[in-house]
A and B are shown apart, each in its own frame.
Chain A
Amino acid sequence: MELVQIDPYRWEIKKSGAMQVPVRIYSSRALIEAVKKDETFRQLVNVAQLPGILTAAMAMPDMHWGYGFPIGGVAAFDCGDGVISPGGVGYDINCGVRLAATRLLQEEIRPRLDSLVNALYQNIPTGVGSTGKLKLSNADLKQVLKLGSPWVVSKGYGEAMDIEHTEDQGCMTDADPAAVSQKALDRGRKQLGTLGSGNHFLEIGVVEEIHDPVAADAFGLAKDRITLLLHTGSRGLGHQTCDDFLAALTRKLNTKGVSLPDRQLVYAPISSCEGRQYYQAMACAANFAWANRQVLIHNARQTFQQVLGISPRGLGMRQVYDVCHNIAKFEQHTIDGVSKRLCIHRKGATRAFPPGHPDLCTDFQKSGQPILIPGDMGTASYVLAGTHRAMDETFGSTCHGAGRMLSRKAAKKAAKSRSLEKELAQKGVITRWSGKSTLAEEMPEAYKDVTEVVRAVEGSGISRIVAKLKPIAVIKG
């Protein structure tokens, strides 16, 4: 397995053995060394062996060791002889990020920031097993799964603009609640409007730098204005859905005598009954995740207004965009001059559609799609824009975050006898968290340098940096 450098931001592992396609890695000199120490490249070679994979098994600069697919992985499959893989989407189906911009300046909220963070922490359920205030009947839950964000907006949780500024308008139309198990429904019923635990967060930030004024204007981002960034997904409903299909497809492949390089890569042919069922169930979980982030942003908006004593107009909280970074989708792409409908898996990778793409709303036709890249809680987050190069090379995909560098065990060791809360406060970041070891496991050093990650995607041409956000308060699950 030889890693060959192609240019400053691209590496390749040539096709050999059972590989159907080569491996292509987007990274930089500074980032790639850390990845060589873990199993990421081996996992990419495994992905490259899946039936019907096209062009290359790809990884973005925030890549790291996952299970089955690596995190930061992108793979496209032919709809005829290709496969769909629950492990290629991940457990947290439509884990994603939502960003809203406000009219507020930092000095306007600094005196009330503590109260605001406390109120958000009270109003947004966080942590292991947290449940939301929304009590959904079976019929309501199925509407959420079928219709996603638009359904919760129709019930008063948000504004029409939120839907317009959401990937796929917050709804995958192939969702069929009949494909979702009772176990998954039971786990999801009480979790709409909850943040969850682990790396999920809510962050208040300030626009620190504008790199592309025209795109920033289209995104509604202005220097020194306050922003709100959310990172969460489909909670237990998505996890259970992934797990149910991993179990069922493992049994199915066993009856066919198929052996896999990694059992987590279990799959179904796209055109099979099982493949269709997984896609319909996955779409339900994706819709649940969009509805979840919709309820969360609505509750955050209301909390801002209450604590700061301002009107919706005074707050001016306008959704920039909502992206998903764990998903499989059918999209139109061109390979060797031929336009084809393909199944694109993005596991810890974000869609990055270019200016003029028909799936983008009018507001982003000139700028390209907004891409939201959260960093660690002490450094920065970035807003990027999609490019034609991404469409040509990576099936319209880019990175999704900073990407972990330290294991949770190593992070806890590095955090021993330190007060991370104080360290972050000295950097101007207020923190609230619920998990016993959350702050240690999520410490800034546990992640790669997000600035280096976004430089690598810009350097390779698959995204453009639009703005840099600096966190001033973070709530972790």
Chain B
Amino acid sequence: MPYELIDHTADIGIAVTASSVGELFETAAHAMFEQIADTRALTGWRRTRLTVSGIDREDLMINWLRELLFLWNGRQYLLKQARIENMANTELTARIWYDPFDRQTHEILNDIKAVTYHGIRVEKTDAGWTATVIFDV
């Protein structure tokens, strides 16, 4: 999925591009978990549904990634896949597939501690959609 890492002095960020806004949010979720763990080892054998809201698209992106990051930081679950089912400007519903963390099989790459508002950008372009997010690591 198309995303690039952004260089920040103390932290890391992602610049994501997608053809639709739903795909943009799915890719951002995937990009965040690719920084946290080797997601190839995940099977996504557990699933659930999430509903997230925000005051605008940028806030929605932050809150979406926040909820997913809490799965890791708060519950020790690693995301395999996310599929946006309903998408509006300030609310989304998604189905997600994840694995509970297992020290024996899952390799942790980076400790992403928070999703920041700093430099947050979610924009429609001629070619589709782009987003920039910086994480606290």
Nearest chain A CB to B137 CB, angstrom units? 6
Q: Is the interface of B mostly helix, strand, loop or mixed?
A: loop
**A250→B59 contact, CB < 8 A:** yes
Complex interface bits, A125-166 against B, C-beta within 8 A gives 1, otherwise 0 = 001110000000000000000000000000000000000000
**B117→A129 contact, CB < 8 A:** no
Does any Cβ of A come within 8 Å of B116's Cβ?
Answer: yes
Contact partners of B104 in chain A: CB under 8 A: none
CA distance A291 to B137 in the complex (A): 23
Does any Cβ of A come within 8 Å of B55's Cβ?
Answer: yes
CA distance A250 to B101 in the complex (A): 32
Contact partners of B137 in chain A: CB under 8 A: 198, 408
Complex interface bits, A246-267 against B, C-beta within 8 A gives 1, otherwise 0 = 1100110010000000111010
Does any Cβ of B come within 8 Å of A243's Cβ?
Answer: yes
**B9→A65 contact, CB < 8 A:** yes
Nearest chain A CB to B116 CB, angstrom units? 4
CA distance A197 to B66 in the complex (A): 19
**A409→B12 contact, CB < 8 A:** yes
**B10→A263 contact, CB < 8 A:** no
Contact partners of B109 in chain A: CB under 8 A: 436-437
Nearest chain A CB to B103 CB, angstrom units? 9
Complex interface bits, B81-115 against A, C-beta within 8 A gives 1, otherwise 0 = 00000000000000000000100000111110111
Q: Which residue of B lies closest to A434 (CB)?
A: B108
**A68→B113 contact, CB < 8 A:** no
The chain A residues found within 8 Å of chain B, CB to CB, are: 38, 64-68, 71, 87, 91-92, 127-129, 183, 186-187, 196-198, 236, 239-240, 242-243, 246-247, 250-251, 254, 262-264, 266, 404-410, 435-437
Between A and B, 21 residue pairs with Cβ closer than 8 Å are A65-B9, A66-B10, A66-B118, A67-B117, A67-B118, A67-B119, A67-B136, A91-B114, A129-B108, A198-B111, A239-B113, A240-B70, A240-B73, A250-B59, A262-B118, A263-B117, A263-B120, A407-B12, A409-B12, A436-B107, A437-B109
